[in-house]
Structure 1
Amino acid sequence: MAGIGFELKKLFRRKGLFATLRAYGYAGVICTGPMLLGVLLQVGMLVLCGWAGAARADQDLLVCMVTYTLLASLTVTSFFSMPVTRFLADMLYEEQEQTILPSFWGSNTLLLVGGCAAYGIFLIFSGATLMQGLLCLWLFAEMIVNWNAMSYLTAVKDYRGILWAFVAAIGISFGLGYLLIFLLGAPVLEGFLFAITVGYGCMMLLETLLLHRYFPQSKESPWTFLRWVDRFLPLAFTGLFTNLGLFAHLVIIWAGPIGIQVKGLFYGAPYHDVPAMLAFLSILITTVNFVVSVEVNFYPKYRAYYSLFNDGGVVGDIVTAEEEMLAVLNRELYYTALKQLFATAAVISLENTLLELLPLGFNDLMHGYFRTLCVGYGLYAIGNTVMLILLYFTDYLGAVLASGVFAAAAAVGTVISLFFDQAFYGFGFLAGAAVFFLLALLRLDYYTSSLPYRVLGQQPIVAQTKSGRFTKLALFLEKAAERGESDAKK
């Protein structure tokens, strides 16, 4: 996120309320755009379905199809997201920007081939009609590219262009949905699913155009990034485990007593899913604050500290820089946790008033889930911030352990909660998030207590190049491409 941080710091140098709000707004769009778009589209389409008089079964099936597609695409891309981000950072540092676009299309190719094959098989046996299945597969492919593009957009500073991409996606989805359903009389389920697909497709197109505007096209190998997956394999599993911990409780609840079979292999738990989707919005404050506060204020101290090691700083300066860096880090983490606490308390306090404005049919059980999950997501957001700081200090082992324990604890806790009253179902995820937060915080305290040793003593004496299955896959694909070019010339 360093590229975003540098640009936001320029924005925050400008004085005045409008300039501050503008900087926060841009940070929010960059960090929460896809998540916010998904929630707004789901809630908005449910409201439009109610106005259109759609049957409850069609509404539930629409939510299931969109939810399955978004979570499946996010899970598929989560394994590559962090190694790709590391590859991007290294290439920018080495001023090899010509390798970025080829790697974007190479990673998209692998994700689309493997992901669409697996999700296509699921859709064949899911019970969806041919039209519904094709629309879901189309949306899945678009989201693969969208999630992957967000890993690359960290280097793009055209915040206005990205903002318009999100606005266009939302506007087109709602506008086209209204046109198809209310004016042309199209079937509600297929009409809204098509509108959502077109909206995300526009976002994908605009994001791709932004990447092509800022990075040059070249004939570099599109498979070089696979070597980074081998080098930083803990990063790949950190992304995967974090994703599983964040969403596994939803799937487990679907298989529980309040889960319903909507159609075929599409299961859902509307009384739990809708509160969970809305509670997820309560962590936007921490997501934005990480970039605005932690990144902008902490990163300069972090960079100054490590520069002393690279530039031959004296011991006294290193000790002073370390104290300043950790002081800023502790302060920013404290303020981040405090802001999330206030945000969660405010949302819980105002939930009755706010939720009554939405025609979502909340009952007492749903209100209970909403409050519990707000606390759980708040703990997750703070824990995730701490885990990201571990990645700054290259504590990849600590990050993968914290995320792995989070995934296991959230899943096991949710399974255990199924043996209790339905009112306790959200506490499994809450417990997993609490464990994640505490473990990440303890690990950060332990790791930074001996930071000079971590920087100097744990480094390998001889540079090592890790080679594994992904490197072999890269070599195989490069040789296959060379043979194809040779055959084409002949």
Structure 2
Amino acid sequence: MAGIGFELRRLLRKNTLVGLIEAYAYAGVIGSGPWVFSIVGILLVGIFSASVVVPSYLVTQFQTSVTYLVAGSLILTGFVQLAFTRFVSDRLFEKRKDLILPNLHGLLLVVVAVASVLGTLALFLLLPGQALVYRLLMLAGFTVMCGVWILTILLSGMKRYKAITVLFGSAYVIIVAASLLMRPWGLAGLLGGFVLGNLVLLMGMWLLIVREFNPQGRLIAFDFAQRSMLYPSLIAVGFLYNLGIWVDKFMFWYFAPTSEAIIGGLRASLIYDLPVFLSYLSIIPGMAVFLVRIETDFVEFYDKFYDAVRSGGSLEYIESMRDEMVYSTQQGLGEIAKIQTLAVLVTLVAGPSLLNALGISQLYLPLLQVQVVGAGLQVGLMAILNVFFYLDQRRIVLILCVQAVLLNIVLTAFTQYFGAALYGYGFALAMLITLCTGLALLTRQFNRLEYETFMLQ
């Protein structure tokens, strides 16, 4: 463990209220930085451009275009994000650091090539007849964002959360500034600012990784594609997790009663999208608790447990460390539940004022409240999946991701059939049921931990 774990422990060792507040504030910013900067940046561009860009619907077209770029790039790169992170972890364990950068270049080459082909097809299928500049910017934005997510997951695996946050923050400052400067050019100007900022982000992360791994020898390699180094379960999990998060949004975008055509074949759901964007701002406190508990308490006892197993520690000590792992997980999930419950209560009280301040109708309030609950449940599910990854239970993670996707599709379709009063409940219930399943499986896994550690090796 490195990076944020050491920093959080340093702050917590102060054993003061100020140190505790600093630790949780630091973890909140680091953990949810990319989400927050992305959402706030897109909203700011829209707010500042609404009175300048004429006609005003171009702002909506920009925000919809960017949303599709984010969703599409996340789902596509989901196939390789976790698998490549495991490849990097294995090479670091083998002290073969020299293999990482060439394979990163090879993966980027493959991802950019696939993204370019799929993006080009999408231009003809979804955006026929649109301006050439707009279509080229969409293609450029899609390929650049695919590269951004690849480098982001690699830096996350290296525990370089602080660097990710600083880079995302700087990039979205550039995006907002560039978009505002180029907004007289309408949609092309707004989208050009977005692509420019993400290109700067991509280059910044690449330079950071090059500095970390010090290039030597081969420039490009494809060792990660060898059969012995592929993890099909991780490939499936990465894709299914991102699909599970976005599938209900796509269903609302292409469900006629809740959507409208925005540009070309791209549709949006004005009744669904704004509450979703705002609800993800509520995950900041939950992400703070998630990082503090996972990167300090749980990992500390996880390391002690497996160090004792490898070094021949006493059974009593091993069982004690197992109990501490269980307790730290319970504490972390309990604190996430408490803090996200508080976020729901704040939404209930301050939601009307927030919507008024943003010029949004009060009709969105019930859906916003449901989405805040769903986002909080998603944080809890992320915590459980992370624990399963530490325990190397990829099959269980795959089962949970499949369940989340199927439940989200079925329950969202159910709510769409029965009308607006149930909108948003499909995603929230899917997260709740999957979270409960994860808790049951995690309890069973902890009860069997010593047996599986010693008897199944």
Task: Give the alignment's TM-score, normalised by structure 1.
Answer: 0.87
Partner of 2:246: 247
Question: Of 147, 150, 155, which residue of structure 2 is paired with 1:148?
Answer: 150
SS in structure 2 at match of 1:403: helix
Q: Distance in 2 between matches of 1:170 and 1:25?
A: 20
Q: Distance in 2 between matches of 1:436 and 1:399?
A: 11
Superposed CA offset, 1:331-371 (max 9, x none): 22211222222223223321111222223x3341x222211
SS in structure 2 at match of 1:52: coil
Q: 1:273 is matched by which residue type in structure 2? A: D
Confirm or deny: 8 A CA contact 1:7 1:157 kept in the other structure: no
Partner of 1:344: 344
Confirm or deny: 8 A CA contact 2:3 2:160 kept in the other structure: no
Partner of 1:278: 278
Partner of 2:198: 200
Q: 2:376 is matched by which residue type in structure 1? A: G
Please tell me whether residue 31 in structure 1 is matched to residue 31 in structure 2: yes
Question: Of 397, 405, 408, which residue of structure 2 is paired with 1:407?
Answer: 405
Cα distance, 1:425–1:163 mapped onto 2, change above 3 Å: closer
Superposed CA offset, 1:42-86 (max 9, x none): 211220232215434322221221111111001111111111222
Question: Of 216, 219, 233, which residue of structure 1 is paired with 2:217?
Answer: 219
Unaligned stretches of 5+ residues in structure 2: none
Partner of 2:234: 235
Superposed CA offset, 1:113-152 (max 9, x none): 1122112211123233211111111111111111111122
Alignment of 1:241-390 (within 5 A): 241-256=240-255, 257-359=257-359, 361-364=360-363, 366-390=364-388
Q: Distance in 2 between matches of 1:134 and 1:229?
A: 38
Cα distance, 1:154–1:263 mapped onto 2, change above 3 Å: closer
Partner of 1:447: 445
Partner of 1:187: 185
Q: Distance in 1 between matches of 2:365 and 2:436?
A: 27
Q: Distance in 1 between matches of 2:136 and 2:15?
A: 50
Partner of 2:52: 52
Q: Distance in 1 between matches of 2:77 and 2:10?
A: 32
Q: Distance in 2 between matches of 1:347 and 1:239?
A: 31
Alignment of 1:40-79 (within 5 A): 40-52=40-52, 54-79=54-79
Q: Distance in 1 between matches of 2:30 and 2:202?
A: 14
Partner of 1:165: 167
Confirm or deny: 8 A CA contact 1:99 1:218 kept in the other structure: no
Cα distance, 1:3 vs structure 2: 5.1
Partner of 1:138: 140
Partner of 1:465: none
SS in structure 1 at match of 2:258: coil
Confirm or deny: 8 A CA contact 2:145 2:198 kept in the other structure: yes
Superposed CA offset, 1:421-452 (max 9, x none): 22312111111111111111111011111111
Q: Distance in 1 between matches of 2:207 and 2:23?
A: 23
Q: Which moved more, 1:265-274 or 1:341-350?
A: 341-350
Q: 2:240 is matched by which residue type in structure 1? A: F
Confirm or deny: 8 A CA contact 1:3 1:155 kept in the other structure: no
Q: 1:13 is matched by which residue type in structure 2? A: R
Q: Which moved more, 1:98-107 or 1:302-311?
A: 98-107
Confirm or deny: 8 A CA contact 1:348 1:374 kept in the other structure: no
Cα distance, 1:208 vs structure 2: 1.3
Cα distance, 1:374 vs structure 2: 0.9
Superposed CA offset, 1:191-228 (max 9, x none): 11111111111111211111112111133562222348
SS in structure 2 at match of 1:51: coil
Cα distance, 1:302–1:228 mapped onto 2, change above 3 Å: farther
Q: 1:102 is matched by which residue type in structure 2? A: P
Q: 1:447 is matched by which residue type in structure 2? A: Q
Confirm or deny: 8 A CA contact 1:124 1:133 kept in the other structure: no
Confirm or deny: 8 A CA contact 1:83 1:228 kept in the other structure: no
SS in structure 2 at match of 1:279: helix
SS in structure 1 at match of 2:456: coil
Confirm or deny: 8 A CA contact 2:343 2:372 kept in the other structure: no
Cα distance, 1:228–1:394 mapped onto 2, change above 3 Å: farther
Q: 1:297 is matched by which residue type in structure 2? A: D
Q: CA RMSD in A?
A: 2.2
Partner of 1:474: none
Q: Distance in 2 between matches of 1:38 and 1:229?
A: 37
Superposed CA offset, 1:376-395 (max 9, x none): 11112111211211111111
Partner of 1:477: none
Q: 2:148 is matched by which residue type in structure 1? A: N
SS in structure 2 at match of 1:261: strand
Confirm or deny: 8 A CA contact 1:156 1:214 kept in the other structure: no
Cα distance, 1:251 vs structure 2: 0.4
Confirm or deny: 8 A CA contact 2:84 2:224 kept in the other structure: yes
Cα distance, 1:54–1:369 mapped onto 2, change above 3 Å: farther
Q: Which moved more, 1:268-277 or 1:348-357?
A: 348-357
Confirm or deny: 8 A CA contact 1:41 1:196 kept in the other structure: no
Q: Distance in 1 between matches of 2:441 and 2:132?
A: 50
SS in structure 1 at match of 2:182: helix
Confirm or deny: 8 A CA contact 1:29 1:162 kept in the other structure: no
Cα distance, 1:130–1:209 mapped onto 2, change above 3 Å: same
SS in structure 2 at match of 1:218: coil
Confirm or deny: 8 A CA contact 1:241 1:404 kept in the other structure: yes
Q: Distance in 1 between matches of 2:240 and 2:349?
A: 32
Q: Distance in 2 between matches of 1:341 and 1:284?
A: 13
Cα distance, 1:458 vs structure 2: 2.7
SS in structure 1 at match of 2:262: strand
Q: Would you say how many aligned residue pairs link Structure 1 and Structure 2?
A: 453
- Over the matched positions of the two proteins, sequence identity in percent amounts to 25
Q: Distance in 1 between matches of 2:326 and 2:29?
A: 29
Cα distance, 1:119–1:431 mapped onto 2, change above 3 Å: same
SS in structure 1 at match of 2:376: helix
Partner of 2:180: 178
Q: Distance in 2 between matches of 1:196 and 1:19?
A: 37
